[in-house]
């Protein structure tokens, strides 16, 4: 006898999807063209057709805990070939947006990065924090002694550490809670679909699945398999590798400071400095290419949620390079002002990670690792039998 399932539509959730870019949802008439067209959709668990059904019915829990929404890279193949203009890619992006906000804690902070009216606060609050901590500790020094411009003279390393280390740890805790909840939701979703046995996830096996998944994520191979927006691979790689490279550079300079006792500023011919400058240029170029591609994609949904991160990435790249040029030009007040703006944007980048589109770097990685973990466990079981 066919199993019955009582559908209780969440009309508010359907409305939320439409408000976040999935306004074309109801045009879908379930022809399955999207699943056939998608080069990333698996034969066993195809998407996005089933996600379009669940979204139309308002099945919130079955969507937000669905790993398949993270396997979608929003390349646009499904939307381009949809005969009804339902734009499944935009609907999937809207669901991911809602999912990110679901796992962001505390939820009240998400308004800061998802409401355009809060934009001034994103500059005012970090600026006040830096100034308040700087004056309270006595570490902030705005006096110019007339010598060469050394940013550590104005904003000592100790001041940066007092502010940014706790901020990074707090963001890490938010992601820890989000990952825990996401894994629980994905396991419940797969259990409902008969794909998970409901047993606790084995950390060692999951780590192995994560390691095997990382090369695919790092090389952007899945995005390259899409046909509609292949040029996005290059721009995405430029931006993502730039952030990783610059984080490595920061780590190297911290090591040089505390272990080797080598203080900046460093020569422009320093290999690490050259590497940092190339990464900064790549960040600017990648951000501009992403902005150009988004401006050209008139059919794709464009929201503040999308544009904010692009603008922030470009701002970080530009201010980072300008801090060097102005210092070399020996303009003290302009240099300190530009460096302060760069610190504010850096504070913003770290703080916004769990609440904006940047969170997909974490949640997509976890979701892909979970799928690989379940697949690997299934293969092991088949071999064992």
Instruction: Map out the domains of the chain as residue ranges.
Output: 11-103, 107-384
Q: Which two tokens stand for residue 186?
A: 């994905």
- Give the CA angle between residues 298, 302, 306 to the nearest 5°: 135
Q: What is the pLDDT of residues 34-68, one digit of tens each?
A: 999 888 888 778 899 999 999 999 999 889 889 99
Q: Is 259 exposed, middle or buried (0-12, 13-18, 19+ CB in 10 A)?
A: exposed
Could you tell me the end-to-end alpha-carbon distance of the chain, in angstroms, rounded to an integer?
A: 28
Query: In the prediction, which pLDDT does 114 show?
Result: 86
pLDDT grade for 127, boundaries at 50, 70 and 90: very high
In degrees rounded to 5, what are phi and psi of residue 265? -75, 150
Q: What is the pLDDT of residues 274-319, one digit of tens each?
A: 999 999 999 999 999 999 888 887 666 678 888 999 999 999 999 9
pLDDT at 381 over 60: no
The residue written with tokens 């870019």 in the block is 21
pLDDT at 325 over 50: yes
Q: Looking only at Cα atoms, what is the longest distance across the chain? A: 86
Distances in whole angstroms, Cα of residue 376 to Cα of each of 64, 183, 197, 345, 383: 23, 16, 13, 41, 11
Distances in whole angstroms, Cα of residue 86 to Cα of each of 81, 97, 288: 10, 18, 29
| Among 190, 18, 37, 188, residue whose Cα is nearest residue 93 | 18
| Among 74, 50, 46, residue whose Cα is nearest residue 63 | 50
CA–CA distance, 88 with 76 (Å, rounded to integer): 8
Higher pLDDT, 64 or 351: 351
Q: Is it true that the peptide bond before 48 is cis, omega within 30 degrees of 0?
A: yes
Q: Which two tokens stand for residue 50?
A: 């089933």
Query: In the prediction, which pLDDT does 285 show?
Result: 95
Determine contact, residues 81/41, Cβ cutoff 8 Å: no
Q: Which residues of 90-100 are buried (b: 16+ CB within 10 A; e: fewer)?
A: bbbbbbbbbbb
Element housing 24 (H / E)? none
Of 1.10.1060.10, 3.30.70.260, 2.60.40.10, 3.40.50.300, which CATH number belongs to 11-103?
1.10.1060.10
Query: In the prediction, which pLDDT does 128 show?
Result: 97
pLDDT at 384 over 50: no
Average pLDDT value for residue range 80-103: 92
Average pLDDT value for residue range 23-32: 91
The residue written with tokens 């646009």 in the block is 76
């Amino acid at each position: 006898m066919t199993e019955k399932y009582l559908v209780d539509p969440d009309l508010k959730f359907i409305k939320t999807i439409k408000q976040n870019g999935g306004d074309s949802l109801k045009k879908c008439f379930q022809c399955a063209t999207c699943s056939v067209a998608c080069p990333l959709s698996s034969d066993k668990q195809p998407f996005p057709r089933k996600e379009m059904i669940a979204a139309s019915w308002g099945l919130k829990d079955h969507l937000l805990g669905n790993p398949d929404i993270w396997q979608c890279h929003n390349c646009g193949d499904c939307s381009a070939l949809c005969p009804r203009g339902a734009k499944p890619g935009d609907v999937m992006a809207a669901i991911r947006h809602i999912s990110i906000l679901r796992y962001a804690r505390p939820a009240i902070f998400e308004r800061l990065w998802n409401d355009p009216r809060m934009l001034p606060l994103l500059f005012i609050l970090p600026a006040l924090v830096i100034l308040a901590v700087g004056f309270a500790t006595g570490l902030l020094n705005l006096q110019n002694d007339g010598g060469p411009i050394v940013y550590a003279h104005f904003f000592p390393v100790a001041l940066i550490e007092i502010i940014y280390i706790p901020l990074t740890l707090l963001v890490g805790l938010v992601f820890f809670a989000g990952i825990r909840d996401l894994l629980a939701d994905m396991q419940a979703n797969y259990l409902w679909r008969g794909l998970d046995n409901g047993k606790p996830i084995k950390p060692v096996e999951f780590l192995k699945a994560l390691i095997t998944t990382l090369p695919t994520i790092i090389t952007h191979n899945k995005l390259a398999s899409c046909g509609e927006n292949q040029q996005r691979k290059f721009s995405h790689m430029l931006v993502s590798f730039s952030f990783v490279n610059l984080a490595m550079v920061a780590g190297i300079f911290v090591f040089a400071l505390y272990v080797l006792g080598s203080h900046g500023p460093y020569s422009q011919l320093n290999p690490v400095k050259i590497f940092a400058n190339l990464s900064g240029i790549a960040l600017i170029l990648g951000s501009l290419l992403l902005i150009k591609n988004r401006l050209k994609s008139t059919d794709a949904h464009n929201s503040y949620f999308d544009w904010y991160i692009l603008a922030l990435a470009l701002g970080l790249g530009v201010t980072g390079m300008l801090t060097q040029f102005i210092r070399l030009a020996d303009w003290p007040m302009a240099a300190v002002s530009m460096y302060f703006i760069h610190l504010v944007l850096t504070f913003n980048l770290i703080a916004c990670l769990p609440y904006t589109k940047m969170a997909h770097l974490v949640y997509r990685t976890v979701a892909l690792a979970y799928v690989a973990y379940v697949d690997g466990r299934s293969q092991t079981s088949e071999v064992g039998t």
